[in-house]
Structure 1
């Protein structure tokens, strides 16, 4: 989690807390170390965010501090509800959890009657809920896309052949039954689409392709514009 995101999350945690929250509790929620939380709290205090407390006791937010409100129209709120419902049907466990957190945050911040829309049963995302792939964590793929980090994968094609690939992931396409990883394949020296449920193993490499991701996405889109559906290829 990036520092800016952590700071925002800490503010949200402290805003809704009814009693002091310890650094360990915040660290457990954000999946970081208490040391990181101490640094983030110090950064917030330096920015004059009214966080009070100390190590070993816990932290609270003084009343009256609010982030700029997000106001949505009825149609915008319905779009958010449906989008969150669609995300909740993917096989990406981390995104499912994020969708739930977004829904909770919006419900706690918007006034009536908009908050009622978030709990309504009038809008549905229909279809199967995709299974999470066994051989790869989709959050790792999304992180590698953001960080422009190469990944080593073992991939089994439709015929059952298994190959070892080093890929440069540039996008993820979510379908109802699975997700496709779009990447530059160093074995084939071309853009390829890999079904996530056919990836048997996936390992981070600490080998990066910095400042190449956008150019590769442009290449992918240029080749895709005449095709209605990006097909899995190896």
Structure 2
């Protein structure tokens, strides 16, 4: 899934801060997985916001020494909410999401005033590890990507009575409960919405075929269903 522009602008600043040599647009584009033209537009946007980036196309760009991002200002309760939220993500048994949560904590900690940094990193708040089973038959990162790209999935599933079936589904959402993660989907076999516990999915393949873009009506219909 493509990085949001705001995140990309932040990453450009971070990349330029980390080097003492000019970085070309091509090098920045390779790091960010975007085109050189996109980098040029982003650099222009940052310069328009008075970020002191010097350089030119074909030569490279460098961040003038002494520039720093303004410190983020949060209340203590907001810092506690970030700390608890990141720790709760660790319960999901999703390695990529857990790594992303740790990365978010690191980025926020760097941008916080020093007096508040310890409050985030060592907040006196405990979140248990939980008892969710690890999903062995499905790549959760691939499933989230399939949702974003509206790609169908082929799954082998075992229900609570260990009755097995193979289905082609249209994945529309991930539902995170305290100790269970569900893949919400439209099931072609049942012709209805179904929820699949990710720890009961024995195998999963993301297909090339996409399901139709209905402007969000399917998601809205799923959200309107009763939830346990």
Q: Same fold (TM over 0.5)?
A: yes
Q: Determine whether 1:175 maps to 2:177.
A: yes
In 2: Cα distance, 1:74 partner to 1:156 partner: 45
Unaligned runs of 5+ in 2: 48-52
In 2: Cα distance, 1:205 partner to 1:154 partner: 14
| RMSD, matched Cα | 3.2
Q: Determine whether 1:198 maps to 2:196.
A: no
Q: CA deviation at 1:193?
A: 0.6
Q: CA deviation at 1:87?
A: 0.5
Q: CA deviation at 1:142?
A: 1.6
Q: Give the 3 Å change call, closer, same or farther, for CA 65–97 of structure 1 in structure 2.
A: same
Q: CA deviation at 1:123?
A: 0.8
Which segment drifts farther, 14-23 or 156-165? Answer: 14-23
Kept in 2: contact 1:91–1:179 (CA 8 A): no
Which segment drifts farther, 160-169 or 101-110? Answer: 160-169
Could you tell me the TM-score, scaled by structure 1's length?
A: 0.77
2:8 aligned residue? 7
In 1: Cα distance, 2:128 partner to 2:78 partner: 20
Q: CA deviation at 1:46?
A: 4.0
1:133 aligned residue? 135
- 1:58-97: CA deviation from partner (whole Å, max 9, x where unpaired): 8643346566764221111111110011012211111101
Unaligned runs of 5+ in 1: 230-234
Alignment size in residue pairs: 221
Summarize the alignment of residues 1-234 of structure 1 with structure 2, pairs less than 5 Å apart: 1-4=1-4, 7-8=8-9, 10-20=11-21, 32=33, 36=34, 38=36, 40-47=38-45, 49=47, 50=53, 52=55, 60-63=62-65, 70-128=72-130, 130-212=132-214, 214-224=216-226, 227=227, 229=228
Kept in 1: contact 2:54–2:62 (CA 8 A): yes
